[in-house]
Amino acid sequence: MSIVSAPRLSDSLVLALSATLALTLSGPAAAAPETEVNLYSARKEELIKPLLDRFTEQTGIRVNLLTGKAEALLQRLKSEGRNSPADLLITVDAGNLHQAKSAGVTQPIDVETVNAAVPANYRDPDGHWVALSVRARPILYARDRVDSGQLSTYEDLTDPRWKGRICVRSSDNVYNQSMVASLIAADGIEAAETWAKGLVANLARPPQGGDRDQIKAAAVGECDLALANTYYLAGMLDSDDPAERDPARALAVFWPNQPGQGDGRGVHVNVSGVALTASARNREAALKLVEFLLTPESQAWYGQVNGEYPVREGIDISPTLVGFGPFEADDLNLGRLGELNAEAVRVMDRAGWK
């Protein structure tokens, strides 16, 4: 299946479209609740639009899509309040989903089919969001410079043998904040801070760039290990661009904290997820869309096209993901990642993680 790349809308354009939606819904020509859904999405258009088009084909319900950065969309929802035209928010990382819940811009999704499809640890304990896909954050290592037998746990990355050999992005990235939050949940605040200090001491360079940049840095020898989401590695491996594909091929995936490694709690995972907004006017249609995104058909899209792991069991994944090998995931309820986010940021600040 091919995907046509679409640019992300600028914040100003998203704001203008949002205002247009608000006027349309409040005016005499507003559509009936069963005919449309207004979706704010922090996911790029090409990663969600094909599914939305399929939903419209099957149900006749139009989806009005606005894309933007997670922080900007949350701020827009807060500013619009009860007048927001948005019915659903799709964003990445449990930390961002928790922030939306804490800001009071979401409401519980209490649908039996949804709860049955999504494992409890991938749902907010109060029902304010549910996961749509899973991405893991393992250790990536240079095939030609690292013996995988030397690797074991996240905690072991503080060992002096890794000094000057690790690449990771900055502490202001929510992916890393959630990873540290998972360490706090597993090991406690003091141990997590000791770990963060040890990781910083072993960095090959100051944190910079995104996950793809860490992969490319390891490929050219700036470091030997990188922490990055599998979603990015899969996208690079499946790319037609040699500048993306070749660096990714130089690295391999190591699943840390597996049974027999440390406490064996499993690799740290996170999600993309969906929340029903507090202002939702088209609630019934919105919940139909949530149910659709959790059908086997939609879950297969995540597993075979998007480079992410389905939240439902028994869904086929791409050969690229299969090639990463099986793993045990941490079964921590991901709502804890959001609850511990502020503490994780403080830990990283005290550790000097730039």
pLDDT at 21: 39
E strand spans, 123-233: 130-136, 139-142, 166-167, 225-227
SS3 76: helix
Residue 189 reports pLDDT greater than 80:
yes
pLDDT tens by residue, 32-62:
446 899 999 998 888 889 999 999 999 999 9
Amino acid occupying residue 264: G
Using 50, 70 and 90 to split pLDDT, how confident is the model at 155?
A: very high
Burial class from Cβ neighbours inside 10 Å (0-12, 13-18, 19+) for residue 83 reads exposed
Using 50, 70 and 90 to split pLDDT, how confident is the model at 29?
A: very low
Residue 250 DSSP class: T
pLDDT tens by residue, 290-317:
999 999 999 999 999 888 999 999 999 9
pLDDT tens by residue, 215-267:
999 999 999 999 999 999 999 999 999 999 999 999 999 999 999 888 899 99
What angle do the packed helices 49-59 and 283-293 form, to 10 degrees? 120
Annotated binding site: 231-232
pLDDT at 34: 63
pLDDT at 65: 94
- State the pTM of this model: 0.86
Residue 337 reports pLDDT greater than 90:
yes
In whole angstroms, what is the distance from residue 169 CA to residue 228 CA? 9
pLDDT at 110: 87
Architecture of the domain delimited by 11-134+270-318: 3-Layer(aba) Sandwich (3.40)
- Check if 11-134+270-318 and 136-267+326-351 are the same fold: yes
Burial class from Cβ neighbours inside 10 Å (0-12, 13-18, 19+) for residue 170 reads middle
pLDDT at 31: 44
Residue 67 reports pLDDT greater than 60:
yes
Residue 338 reports pLDDT greater than 80:
yes
136-267+326-351 CATH pick, 3.40.50.12780, 3.30.360.10, 3.40.190.10, 3.50.50.60: 3.40.190.10
Residue 17 reports pLDDT greater than 60:
no
pLDDT at 262: 83
Q: Quote the mean pLDDT of the chain.
A: 90
Quick one: what percent of the chain has pLDDT higher than 70? 90
Using 50, 70 and 90 to split pLDDT, how confident is the model at 339?
A: very high
pLDDT at 16: 39
Annotated binding site for Fe cation: 231-232
Selected residue with higher pLDDT from 190 and 48: 190
pLDDT tens by residue, 191-212:
999 999 999 999 999 999 999 9
pLDDT at 354: 93
Find, among 213, 333, 318, 211, the residue nearest to 271 by Cα: 333
Assigned token pair, 119: 């494992």
Burial class from Cβ neighbours inside 10 Å (0-12, 13-18, 19+) for residue 315 reads middle
Q: Radius of gyration over alpha carbons of the chain, in Å?
A: 20
Residue 1 reports pLDDT greater than 60:
no
Which sequence spans correspond to the domains of the chain? Answer: 11-134+270-318, 136-267+326-351
